[in-house]
Amino acid sequence: MIVKHVGGDLNKAYRPCKIDEVIGNETIKKMVKNALESKRFPHASLFTGPSGCGKTTFARIVALGLNCVDGPTGNPCCKCDSCKSIINGNSFAVIEIDAGRTRDVAMTRKILDDLPAASLGGESYKIAIFDEAHLLGEGNAKSEEALLKFLEDTPEHVYLILCTNEPQKLRDVTRNRCKVVQFGRLTTNDIHTLLVQVSQFEGFVYKDEVLKYVAEEVNGVPRAALSALQQIASEGSWTKENASLIINSGVDADNVEVYEFSKMLIKNGWVDIKTAFDKIKSLPAETIRIAVVGFLVGCVKNARDYDQAERYAKMAETMSYIYYGPKPEHVLFIKLCQALRYRKAA
């Protein structure tokens, strides 16, 4: 059963903190739980699989389980000081590294040099989680070389977990020194179960046919499912048609206002559209453009006849190129104006 541990976006609020809270990936759940509780979890692990399927979440559960007062365990208490600090993101014992931002070899070495030192919080173990780990080998490959040397002689109180959806970009020797754990997409039933439980916990007056539709459309990725659920609940109509537009819009849950702007393009007047654009124009032009094109593609799929579908397709085509230059938001605004000429009678 899922548990809401923190506030905020649904993806963060319902992130599992115990193995028993995880939906799907049953074999991995058993393997990780047994390894933790038998005190045989490997000091170097490589978590691979599609984006949004739980690699980093599992890495955090491992960190929680290792340092919990009840641990090592697959089901940490989530109440002790160690658990609370990890959940709140301020633990001295757990270091999360975005490899896309820390590819500099000097920074990588600094992180690795600090790991053998005892945790300032007094925890027994230190855990380093490298997200997007395949990027360590791009550009300046010395970052992966530094990591490789550390993998050769990892201190007993240190655990390294590399998370990536592109393990082939890491060197063979790096992969071979890690225990590889392959995550898979969730089944449609698993995603539906997750959506129902979250909807009930949040008190949404939901329609099950909409949740089933979302579960079928998100390709087994729970993160995408919860992002879509958040937007559908915010929009409030709970219709399959609007759910389809949301899923195809490509808008993150943090950018619901871009989705609202996209809806205005097909039904509101010029003054409303201009006012709405002024509110979102500080966002990257590409973020807005991709969201609008995705929304219009959804409109094409749900058009009532060919003529309407063609109009939406022409609007999308007008928006379908990347904007470079000193003022990309100006070019974007002009293209939005040009796209509106196809809207008549749509």
List, for residues 137-167, the tens digit of each pLDDT value: 765 567 888 888 888 888 999 999 999 988 9
Q: What is the pLDDT of residue 103?
A: 60
User: Quick one: what percent of the chain has pLDDT higher than 90?
Assistant: 39
Amino acid letter, 72: P
List, for residues 32-57, the tens digit of each pLDDT value: 999 999 999 999 999 998 888 889 99
Q: How far apart are CA 32 and CA 40, in angstroms?
A: 10
pTM passes above 0.75: no
Amino acid letter, 36: L
Contact between 84 and 25 under an 8 Å Cβ cutoff? The reply is no
List, for residues 86-103, the tens digit of each pLDDT value: 998 889 999 998 887 766
pLDDT > 50? residue 274: yes
Confidence of residue 297 (pLDDT cuts 50, 70, 90): confident
Give bridge partners of residue 148 from the DSSP assignment.
none
In this structure, what DSSP letter does residue 119 have?
P
Give alpha helix (H) positions in the chain. Answer: 10-13, 26-37, 55-67, 81-87, 105-114, 142-152, 172-176, 188-202, 208-217, 222-235, 240-249, 256-265, 270-280, 285-301, 306-318, 328-340
Between residues 11 and 250, the one the model is more confident about = 11
Residue 3's nearest CA partner among 77, 11, 62, 14 is 14
pLDDT > 80? residue 65: yes
User: Mean pLDDT throughout 62-77?
Assistant: 94
